[in-house]
């Protein structure tokens, strides 16, 4: 494709990236002789509506942005092709090295460098989140951050989203596994979602390890296994990389202030209840199967059963009536599991156990209700297997 002229003006030099139905090309503007980036979305029978919506949104949002660390919108046109057409977005070209390329070359960041990177990214996010309505990038990761001429750039706004007061949670699911927070798996994104991705990026640059492979205690990163950073910085990173949205840093301003001056206070953990080792009740009909990487609990109900399964990738809850699944299983990523609750019951609520994965909850209850002995046993087994305290 090198040498081909698009839009009667942009001569292709080489391909920068490709995805299904998308090309990113480095071209030369024959009118100005400057290098520019042309992003093509092919509009044919294979194009998905979500892809078209995201592309058009990227164009409209880039038009409204003006920041020295964000590529500038230059134009838009339609390109007629032999079997279809393509939509083309033109933007300025940043000639630099991505953080992903740094990782591939074995380049790691020390704490001082990571803090400089954090401040630069937070200043860009302050601009985006400060727009009316706020703009959430939704795909911060090493390959979308460039270093050029001693300056940092945030690129690829293909997943960008404006957050308005009327938005519901039924958004398109976008992002990159390991860097996207749990709420994005269910299609929701808010400004603190970018803070989670920022922290994941910093951890990758410090350790050279993909965030999903970092050592963990329960759902939280075990910073004791990362001796290259101070306890204060580890606390800050963990605060941003908190799976529970309610416990995460709430704004860029809070994150910046804490980075520069330390966290004024840390919210105390919820009260925890310690359970001594408990044996399986002799009379129970509940079954439990566990291996190092897999756990399954089946609770009988009056007309069927409830089945909880957890493996290395996800947690799922399936309800069956007369052997037939009642709707789709409820699922969430394994890494999102953050809390194990033992609910003693109330006037209008039977005793049960709840596992929280982000904002999703997975309840173990039976009909008739599980006995105290059964709940004590299940709470103990889940707590030990997940390495989570019972609250």
Q: Which helix (H) or strand (E) holds 40?
A: strand 35-43
Write out the two tokens for 80: 């007629």
Q: Which helix (H) or strand (E) holds 87?
A: strand 85-92
- Distance from C-alpha of 47 to C-alpha of 21, rounded to nearest angstrom: 7
> Helix or strand or coil: residue 161?
strand
> Helix or strand or coil: residue 199?
helix
CB-count exposure of residue 75 (10 Å: 0-12, 13-18, 19+): middle
Residues near 218 by Cβ (< 8 Å), separated by ≥ 6? Answer: 337, 338, 386, 387, 388
Q: For residue 147, what are the β-bridge partners?
A: 97, 152
- Give phi and psi for 158, each to the nearest 5: -70, -15
Is 44 among the catalytic positions? Answer: no
- Give phi and psi for 105, each to the nearest 5: -90, 5
**Which is catalytic among the residues 29, 51, 139, 156?**
139
Catalytic residues: 139
């Amino acid at each position: 494709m090198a040498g081909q002229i698009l839009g009667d003006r942009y001569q292709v030099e080489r391909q920068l990236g490709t995805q299904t139905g998308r090309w990113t090309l480095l071209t030369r503007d024959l009118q100005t002789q400057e290098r520019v980036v042309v992003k093509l979305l092919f509009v044919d029978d294979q194009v998905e509506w979500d892809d078209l919506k995201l592309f058009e949104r990227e164009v409209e949002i880039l038009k409204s942005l003006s920041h020295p660390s964000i590529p500038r919108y230059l134009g838009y046109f339609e390109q007629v092709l032999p079997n279809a057409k393509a939509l083309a977005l033109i933007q300025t070209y940043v000639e630099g090295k991505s953080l992903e390329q740094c990782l591939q070359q074995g380049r790691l960041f020390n704490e001082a460098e990571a803090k400089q990177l954090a401040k630069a990214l937070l200043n860009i996010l302050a601009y985006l989140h400060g727009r009316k309505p706020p703009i959430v990038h939704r795909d911060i990761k090493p390959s979308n951050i460039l270093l050029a001429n001693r300056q940092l750039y945030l690129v690829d706004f293909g997943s960008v989203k404006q957050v308005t007061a009327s938005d519901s949670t039924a958004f398109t699911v976008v992002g990159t596994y390991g860097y996207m927070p749990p709420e994005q798996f269910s299609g929701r994104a808010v400004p603190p979602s970018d803070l989670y991705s920022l922290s994941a990026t910093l951890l990758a640059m410090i350790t050279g390890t993909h965030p999903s492979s970092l050592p963990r205690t329960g759902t939280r990163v075990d910073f004791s296994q990362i001796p290259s950073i101070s306890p204060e910085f580890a606390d800050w990173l963990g605060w941003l990389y908190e799976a529970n949205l309610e416990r995460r840093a709430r704004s860029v301003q809070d994150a910046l202030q804490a980075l520069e001056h330390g966290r004024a206070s840390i919210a105390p953990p919820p009260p925890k209840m310690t359970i001594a080792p408990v044996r399986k009740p002799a009379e129970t009909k509940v079954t439990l199967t566990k291996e190092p990487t897999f756990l399954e609990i089946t609770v009988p109900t009056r007309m069927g059963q409830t089945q909880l399964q957890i493996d290395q990738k996800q947690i799922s809850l399936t309800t069956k009536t007369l052997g037939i699944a009642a709707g789709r299983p409820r699922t969430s990523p394994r890494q999102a599991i953050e809390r194990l609750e033992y609910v003693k019951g109330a006037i209008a609520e039977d005793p049960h156990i709840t596992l929280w994965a982000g904002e999703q909850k997975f309840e173990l209850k039976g009909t008739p209700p599980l006995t105290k002995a059964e709940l004590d046993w299940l709470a103990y087994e889940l707590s030990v297997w997940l390495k989570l305290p019972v609250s």
